[in-house]
Amino acid sequence: MGTTGVRPPDPHPSGVKPPDIPAELIPRHVALVMDGDGRWAKKRGLPRTEGHKEGESSLLDVIMGAIELGIPYMSAYAFSTENWRRTPDEVRFLMGFNRDVIHRRRDLLNEMGVRIRWAGRRPRLWRSVIRELEQAEQMSAGNSVLTLQFCVNYGGKIDEKVFARYLDEPTIPEVDLFVRSSGEQRLSNFLLWQSAYAELVFLDTLWPDFDRRHLWHACEIYASRDRRYGGAQPNPVEPNSIRDDRPGLLS
């Protein structure tokens, strides 16, 4: 599909427009930890699964906001290798929910020019989930508006040699901006290698209350930072301000 004839993203219900960030300061790759579903549901006296359901619309809105701002790559942490430790009922729900979300939203994402990729491990992952992910990949292979990497049964904690051989998507660039909702401040084994020099932004908003405005705010924070990648420029110093006060030396 490329970029011609694509459906534009729906506007935010409030009518808010994306911030005016210079193109060179927009992150190329945003990694998104969608955290806080369970706490959102608990605050309302609901099962954890209701929080996951509510988070679907948050993800869709954030994707639309990324397109509006011109972000070319986004990775969404949908299910980690550690999530298998949750209760069997929640794991079963998450497996079916991820499968159904991909099936339910893939046509719309395809119409908007989103290229879907899957990063993760096959062992233990439901075959029906793998099938939906692979079909979505095939359907959207020609799109170029936004590459959306669904990280399902994904874990980034492996050694360097193994990682070099089995990198899920070597053509997707390193992460520029790493965003986590819910106020938790940790990486949780998500895109560790690719986020080595990412700018980290942790927002207090629980994921079901998150939308494109929060993404844009994170991008404004990103644009305001000085990314040095370990380098530094000398401090500007006036020539007459340098003195040698050691005893016995002329100043």
Question: Which residues participate in catalysis according to the annotation?
Answer: 35, 83
Please give the Cα distance from 151 to 143 (Å, whole number): 19
Query: Which are the contacts of 169, defined by CB distance < 8 A and separation ≥ 6?
Result: 117, 119, 149
Helix (H, G, I), strand (E, B) or coil at 94: helix
Distance CA 108, CA 196 (A): 33
Amino acid at 184: E
Please state, in angstroms and rounded to a whole number, the distance separating the CA atoms of residues 97 and 136. 15
**CA nearest neighbour of 177 among 236, 222, 143, 146:** 222
